[in-house]
Structure 1
Amino acid sequence: MTADTVGGVWTYALELVRALGPHRIEVCLATMGAPLCPEQQAEAEGIPHLTLYPSAFKLEWMASPWEEVAEAGEWLRALEKRLQPDLIHLNGYAHGALPWKEPVLVVGHSCVFSWWRSVKGEEAPVAWERYHRAVSAGLQHADRVVAPTAAMLAALRRYYGPLPKSAVIANGRTAACYTVGEKEPFIFTAGRLWDEAKNIALLDRIAHALPWPVYVAGEQRHPDGRGVGFDSLRSLGRLHSTTLAGWLSRSAIYALPARYEPFGLAPLEAALSGCALVLGDLPSLREVWGEAALFVPPDDPEALRSTLQRLIEDPSLRESMARRAHAQALCYTPERMAAGYLNVYGEMMRSDCGMKTEPLLNPKSAIRNPQFQVPT
């Protein structure tokens, strides 16, 4: 299995690996994106059926990544030869086009093209064409494709063409890691604060007009070095997971007016902590939360302010929404997620005849060759 260390995929991967343990599945986890931090290293070492293979190769969405993406592919193929796994589970796209000897699952957690449309309001520029080709090749050559929501799976089909056999498997979080504490009068949000998709800037615009303080936790510096700052939010920086859980336990409201969020592990953690949710009005978030959250248009600061104000002024509504969110969150368990993946793994193993078809696109050219046209 592959995972990156700079976003929610890391959390997803460890939850899945833990839940697969009772089924006697050993996982070799190859990480990319950035070196593991001490907390990540300790978290992984606490899982007995997990062997970690860390690296810091750039991810396909990072700046000028392609030389390192190709090097990572060679490293992964060498690991396959050495470890001889039964199945390849990729949480990225480009390496799906490599000539693997075993069945390949590609999981689409997000992508630049759907991100760009949602965040920028336009199609991704020509500079991302090479990325498009690599992602298309990886998806088309996979034996199976999985996404955490139907909305994300539809986006993959829209931008990268027809997919192999696919499935929707929702992410999960361990409820025992979160507690519903005595709620205090503040609003909380967390995540990769440098990511425009989180739309934290909208929250910053209206925070001064609210009677409750708004706290924000997370990484403010982009992997390429760019940073973000806020005028009205109270920044806590990047918190240890146990410290973050403590803040969520005390927070009465969790706000994330996202422009793009294919699933959203942070709102799930907030809901497990008994927070009322105010989220961006996105098909993916409505799919996950239904009537268990209040939704606001990502471009409407007054709607965000008035919705938060209404929850602040109406304790009965706030507590009712928190109960709804908590009940919904309890549906998204790691065990349910693992059951979905075990079903897909089993289908892949049963249908594998021991011979891989040729890639629909040459894997080396998909990663290295920048000259191609985006399909219309």
Structure 2
Amino acid sequence: MTADAVGGVWQYALELAAALAPLGVDAHLALIGPAPSSAQRDRAAALGVTYTETGLPLDWLAQDAAEVRRTADAVAMAAALHGADVVQLNQPAFALADYAMPIVAVAHSCVASWWDAVERGPLPTDLAWQAALTGDGLARADVSVCPSAALAGTMQRLYALPRRPQVVHNGRTAIPSTGALADHVFTAGRLWDRGKDAATLDRAAARVSMPIKAAGPLAGPHGEQVAFAYLDTLGSLSDAAVADHLSAGPIFASATRYEPFGLAVLEAASAGCALVLSDIPTFRELWDGAATFVTPGDDEAFARAIEALASDATARIEAGERARARAARYTPAANARGMADIYARAVAPRERVAA
């Protein structure tokens, strides 16, 4: 299984790999891109997950299509040497190689779906070639998967796929709550990413009575940088530090315009945090009835929703319990069962032929 240490795919891959073990599936991670941090290494060790650092470039950080194809060839060779029965590519563009075993391509996000949600007009040239590789990889894979039906529909539309990708929701280990109600709002994610629209929460922060604390990087890998006037920015935090913040029971807010799934929202919900979320298809699919929804970009509405919860402890506790109950659907075990079923069906035809 390929993984990277840059974003949520690392958390997803670690917990999936650990949850597959009780099902009799031995998962080994091929780490693509930058090396993991010491905290990430410790987390992998704690879960008993093995991985190999390949030093190969990530598809969305590659210089050109040829570099992506070279990485794909290297992954295919490594999978063969490892004796893998099936390969899960968490970067679909890496399906563009000759693999000796079935390929399951999981699309967690892509530049085309990001652009579709955030910008207008055709993809610029420097992104179009990346999107083309992703589309080709999805079409070439034996099975394609998305973490939400919203993303699956978008991917089928954008890439004209003959079949909609299968949907297996992500999972995350629940974060225990202290039972407190923290006197602040919390958000987490790539703050530099325009798709996350932290700017809306920054404007809302000027209108609410409690601070909005924001965890995540302010600078991106391509030189993107942001600064905020009202958000209390915390920088990049370890998983453990984020869990500490969420266990204290803040209101959790996300104003994102683009979210294929939203592991940070799931973490907050599992800790019993009341959710204030942008009204986008993914969040409606996952959290309808368990969150307060706000029109994307409407900072005044975000402020009103936050203040309504901040001023009514009973309503806030009830909202947190609804979020916690919904989060119980999205566990690593459920994710592993869904993926293990896909692996079994992917390899079954080859087993029948061999027999």
Give the structure-2-normalised TM-score.
0.94
Verify the 8 A CA contact 1:58 1:65 in the aligned structure 2: no
Verify the 8 A CA contact 1:187 1:253 in the aligned structure 2: yes
Q: Does 2:74 correspond to 1:75?
A: yes
> CA shift at 1:73, angstroms?
1.9
Corresponding position of 1:125:
124
Corresponding position of 1:39:
39
Corresponding position of 1:23:
23
* 3-state SS in 1 of match to 2:217: coil
Alignment of 1:198-277 (within 5 A): 198-277=196-275
Q: Distance in 2 between matches of 1:292 and 1:322?
A: 8
Corresponding position of 1:191:
189
RMSD: 1.8
Corresponding position of 1:302:
300
Q: Distance in 2 between matches of 1:349 and 1:304?
A: 47
> CA shift at 1:63, angstroms?
6.0
- What is the letter of the counterpart of residue 288 of structure 2? G
* 3-state SS in 1 of match to 2:237: coil
- What is the letter of the counterpart of residue 10 of structure 1? W
- What is the letter of the counterpart of residue 205 of structure 1? R
Q: Distance in 1 between matches of 2:205 and 2:124?
A: 33
Unaligned stretches of 5+ residues in structure 1: 356-376
Verify the 8 A CA contact 2:95 2:103 in the aligned structure 1: yes
Q: Distance in 1 between matches of 2:57 and 2:112?
A: 18
- Figure out how many residues of one structure are paired with residues of the other and give that number: 353
> CA shift at 1:74, angstroms?
2.9
> CA shift at 1:128, angstroms?
2.4
Verify the 8 A CA contact 1:187 1:251 in the aligned structure 2: no
- What is the letter of the counterpart of residue 313 of structure 1? S
Percent identical pairs in the alignment equals: 38
Q: Distance in 1 between matches of 2:3 and 2:333?
A: 19
Corresponding position of 2:133:
134
Verify the 8 A CA contact 1:144 1:165 in the aligned structure 2: no
Corresponding position of 1:100:
99
Corresponding position of 2:339:
341
Verify the 8 A CA contact 1:217 1:235 in the aligned structure 2: yes
Verify the 8 A CA contact 2:207 2:300 in the aligned structure 1: no
Q: Distance in 1 between matches of 2:136 and 2:352?
A: 21
* 3-state SS in 2 of match to 1:323: helix
- What is the letter of the counterpart of residue 287 of structure 2? W
Corresponding position of 1:91:
90
Q: Which ranges of 4 or more aligned residues in structure 1 deviate by more than 4 Å?
A: none
Corresponding position of 2:58:
59
Deviations 1:13-34 (A, max 9, x none): 1110010011222112111121
Verify the 8 A CA contact 1:139 1:163 in the aligned structure 2: no
Give the structure-1-normalised TM-score.
0.89
